[in-house]
A and B are shown apart, each in its own frame.
Chain A
Amino acid sequence: MKQKELDGYQEFMKGLWKENPTFVQVLGMCPTLAVTNSAINAVVMAVATFFVLVGSSFLVSALQRWIPSQVRISLYVIIIATFVTLADYSLLATLPAVHKQLGAFIPLIVVNCIILGRAEAFASRYPVKYAVLDAAGMGAGFFLSLTMLGTVREILGTGTLFDIPLFGKGFEPWVTMILPPGGFITLGLLLLLSNWVTKKRAEFLKQVAAAQQEGL
């Protein structure tokens, strides 16, 4: 297979917006919606996913020559499960309170499609350096969208941010936002926003191109 020219910076940046795992690829929905009822949960979840993503991409890429393609998926899943177990126990040791709140959703990182997706689509084909950069970019993009969701939901749902009250006593919390329906609706609206931004940006670029042509 002929490898395309890679640019480390590009591989990192694409995860942030152009191929953002949440808004553009719509992967890994379960943790995205389940743990974003407060900003701190979202941040911890995103950091844990980031760790697993980078770790497993590194290992998959480093071992790619020795992994037979028939059993690759099972091997990837075992590699990922190992890193998740590491993350799970480290969280239990350092932040027991948050670990309790996240509960079953830490083990569920194993079946986060973003991680398996990156292992299969990228890490198993490219050198270690780029695999790690790609994973870091995707992890950062995931972090960005998760934090965004968590912040919006916590501010609207409880009137706080990282447990610090933002509004005066008159604030009436919009409880639905931290309940399940709020997750679906907030993500739906954020997706709309991101679609709109992408569309406006394309229109703007078109106008610029048209203006340049007129100038010539």
Chain B
Amino acid sequence: MENLVWIFISTLLINNFVLSYFLGLCPFLGVSGRLETSFRLGMATSFVLVVTAISVWFLNTYVLIYAPYLRLISFIVVIASTVQFIEMAIKKLSPALFKALGIYLPLITTNCAILGLAVFATSRNYGFLEGLAFALGAGAGFTLALVLMAGIREEIEKTGDIPDLVRGTAMNLLVAGSLSLAFMGFAGLFSAG
């Protein structure tokens, strides 16, 4: 149990997927303009992450021991079909949510955080529960980074006092750099205690 908590906290804060593994940067830089959308996207991504972690565990345990070279292809097929399936389910169950998420839903397939989670969970030999904790931590961490970034960007836009040359991606990257610098402070969280 302690181990599971540790995996969760360390993926959430110390080894945050976005800010220290650079996973899921496309939505992080692209969708972080508004606080509300970023939160919704974070939630949808977390859900896909959890489903992926479960399917990857099944694949690794029952299928891929016979054919390890098919790993990558089977992962990406599972992810793509999971996203497709979730898209259909949400469309059927809650059209309002489907409309709100819009294009971001299918784009989750090409979010490197998802495949990254699958690959990392495999290379670290995580079991079922550990994989689940890992996925929850990764999802929460992704949402946290996205929401923080969106908050900062909204505030900066409010002042509106930015030179043209910096506006856009360059500024976002510099902000992300300072966020990442701040998150490095969490590195001492466990070794100190």
Contacts and interface: CB of A to CB of B under 8 A. Distances in A.
A216 B166 CA distance: 38
Interface in B141-190: 165-166, 169-174, 176-178, 180-181, 184
B19 A188 contact: no
Contacts of A199: 165
Given A30-B112, A181-B180, A184-B176, A110 B72 contact: yes
Given A104-B120, A191-B173, A81 B111 contact: no
Interface centre among A27, A82, A88, A108 (most CB of B within 10 A): A108
B180 A184 contact: yes
Contacts of A107: 71-72, 115, 119
B23 A30 contact: yes
Nearest to A23: B169
B184 A108 contact: no
Contact of B123 (A84, A85, A103, A110): A103
Contact of B177 (A27, A73, A181, A192): A181
A185 interface: yes
A29 interface: yes
A30 B25 contact: yes
Contact of A184 (B69, B165, B177): B177
Interface residues of B, number: 40
Contacts of A176: 181
Given A29-B25, A34-B21, A103-B123, A85 B72 contact: yes
Contact of B116 (A85, A89, A108): A108
Contacts of B123: 103-104
A185 B119 contact: no
B80 interface: yes
Interface in B21-41: 21-26, 29
- Classify the secondary structure of A's interface with B: helix
Contact of A77 (B21, B80, B111, B176): B80
Interface in A47-91: 73-74, 77-78, 81-82, 84-85, 88-89
A139 interface: no
Interface in A80-130: 81-82, 84-85, 88-89, 103-104, 107-108, 110-113, 116
B165 A196 contact: yes
Given A81-B73, A195-B170, A199-B165, A113 B177 contact: no
- Classify the secondary structure of B's interface with A: helix
Nearest to A30: B112
Contacts of A29: 22, 25-26, 29
Given A89-B69, A110-B76, A104 B116 contact: yes
B76 A26 contact: no
B80 to A, nearest CB: 6
Given A33-B22, A104-B120, A192 B166 contact: yes
B173 A180 contact: no
A184 B174 CA distance: 6
Given A180-B180, A195-B170, A81 B112 contact: no
A73 B110 CA distance: 11
24 contacts: A26-B169, A30-B24, A30-B116, A34-B23, A77-B109, A78-B77, A82-B73, A85-B69, A85-B72, A85-B73, A88-B72, A104-B119, A108-B112, A108-B116, A108-B119, A110-B72, A110-B115, A176-B181, A181-B177, A181-B180, A184-B177, A189-B174, A191-B170, A191-B173
Given A77-B109, A110-B115, A188-B173, 4 more contacts: A77-B80, A107-B71, A185-B174, A188-B169
Interface of A: 26-27, 29-30, 33-34, 73-74, 77-78, 81-82, 84-85, 88-89, 103-104, 107-108, 110-113, 116, 176, 179-185, 187-189, 191-192, 195-196, 199
